[in-house]
Amino acid sequence: MLSQGDVDDAFPYPTSFGPPPSSRPSTAKRPHSQRTPSKKSGSPRTSSSGRPPRKRGRSDGPSRTRQAASVALVDDLAVKHKMGSAAEEPALMRDSQGDGVARLFGSIVLPRSNGGGVVLVEECLDDVDFGQLSINDIGLVLVRFFIDGLAALGTLSRAGIVHRDINPNNIMYSVAVQGWRVTDFDLACRVDDPQTGVELRPGAGTQGYIAPEALDAGVYSAASDMWSLGRTAAYFLSCAQDEVWRRPDAPHKFDDVLCHLEMIAHNMSAREPAQRTVSPSVHEFLVDFHNEFQQNAADNGFIARR
């Protein structure tokens, strides 16, 4: 299990929920608050002003107000008031419960007389600061990203749901279970067949993380979610690589691990949907790497919140 560093440093709750990046970051420690490209969902989205730590605004729903959503932490829960979300979001997230998906403990659909939107009570998820982790724990977190991300896609496919907006802001780390979780279902939709998908308005999602067929023709499917997951993996890999390059003590073997993971991410985001496959041998490879990193951890105890 992960053991390096203070949890509040290595896994800080994001200071804001601005849109994620569309290109390689210049530094591994770049927080979500510094990510700039816009998220497309039918109307412009504006970022909110700063608030006290652990209670921040989020620009993640179509809204004419300055603040599209707010998040407050209560114990180990995140209470999200999403003014721009449709009433279907709680049902979509509830039906998607399973491996790799953030746990939903409760929800309220607000009447239009109160401004509309939804309130979601979810498990608390955190950002990851690779600068606060050991090389071994960076490897463990990265491999878990692929394992948990692919598990989430399987969960969504079985539920007949396409997320449509997987990006670095919408897949975050759970300290409680030491794994990644997909969240924010405000753009998700139901499909009769996840493989063929559905045709909707083109371009919904976050700039830089929208699959080519979704951007050009409005085709959303399990394959388009796979493309978005691959691009998100590439972003976190670049963050980790920037950090590893700053550490002269990093073993050469770790470069090989990053290269293998980059190849997997590249295949996941292939241009043609039919080419975005992850073979059983890749799953075995990921599990083997995960077990190796886990055995090399300094301590098998869970990181606990202070």
For residue 253, the model assigns a pLDDT of 81
> Which amino acid belongs to residue 181?
R
For residue 86, the model assigns a pLDDT of 80
Residue spans per domain, the chain: 7-295
Q: Which helix (H) or strand (E) holds 306?
A: none
Q: Which residues contact 22 (CB under 8 A, 6 or more apart)?
A: 37, 207, 208, 209
Asked if the model's pLDDT at residue 114 lies above 70, the reply is yes
What average pLDDT does the chain have?
Answer: 78
CATH placement of domain 7-295:
1.10.510.10
Asked if the model's pLDDT at residue 57 lies above 90, the reply is no
Residue owning tokens 């979601």: 120
Could you read off the pLDDT of 117-161 as tens digits, one per residue? 899 999 999 889 898 898 989 999 999 999 999 999 999 999 999
pLDDT band at 239 (very low <50, low <70, confident <90, very high): very high
- What residue spans of the chain are helical by DSSP H? 7-10, 89-95, 135-159, 212-217, 222-245, 252-268, 280-295
Asked if the model's pLDDT at residue 46 lies above 60, the reply is no
Global pTM value? 0.76
The pLDDT of 257-282, averaged and rounded, is 93
The pLDDT of 233-262, averaged and rounded, is 90
* Residue 116 burial (C-beta neighbours within 10 Å; 0-12, 13-18, 19+): middle
Could you read off the pLDDT of 208-228 as tens digits, one per residue? 999 999 999 999 999 999 999
Dist. CA 142–CA 11, nearest whole Å: 14
